[in-house]
A and B are shown apart, each in its own frame.
Chain A
Amino acid sequence: DSGVTQTPKHLITATGQRVTLRCSPRSGDLSVYWYQQSLDQGLQFLIQYYNGEERAKGNILERFSAQQFPDLHSELNLSSLELGDSALYFCASSVGDNWGVNTEAFFGQGTRLTVV
């Protein structure tokens, strides 16, 4: 168990709908990362938050947004869903933003999103 919790584990929804994926980082971790994993594109970095602030953006569509709350949990909002958004969405956390701290990223179990 990595200590990173993601809910829900599975989500099936229709095209055009909006969903929210939730992530609780490991206790003490301030950085949260979101990744999308699909068969054809591998593991794609979407966005990073550090202590409530957006820190970096990757290949995140404008239809997607995220935030990190004061209690450090994070939500990824996916709207106007398309069939191609079907994928496994992973959240990861790490201890912080200080290069002086050696750290790895710890991954949650993922949310499998199926858009029908």
Chain B
Amino acid sequence: AQSVSQHNHHVILSEAASLELGCNYSYGGTVNLFWYVQYPGQHLQLLLKYFSGDPLVKGIKGFEAEFIKSKFSFNLRKPSVQWSDTAEYFCAVRDTGNQFYFGTGTSLTVIP
């Protein structure tokens, strides 16, 4: 089974700062990759996804992520965060068994 590691458990940034959240998965092979966001009190919503093709994917709200196959990584980035980005962020991997594996999440707090 896959394991997904998110290196940052809690990140605190000021508005307009740049964001990068790390995500690594445990082994290669064909995978789909996702970032989900959970706003306070809400369910998980898809932020962006990678299935194939261009390893740089763009999602909603100005987020993007880069798939680096050689590093088993799928880091999430945003050039300038806003207070409304305060949320929990989850990286996920879907394997060929149609299983979704989630990281433990990174809590992002953006200070106005």
Contact = CB atoms under 8 A, between A and B. Distances in A.
A104 interface: yes
Contact of B98 (A2, A42, A45, A94): A94
Nearest to A96: B98
Contacts of A94: 98, 100
Contacts of B40: none
A33 B44 contact: no
Interface of B: 30, 32, 34, 36, 42-46, 49, 51-52, 90, 92, 94, 96-105
Given A43-B105, A45-B101, 7 more contacts: A42-B104, A48-B99, A90-B44, A99-B98, A105-B34, A108-B43, A110-B43
Interface of A: 2, 31, 33, 35, 42-43, 45, 48, 50, 55-56, 90, 92, 94, 96-99, 102-110
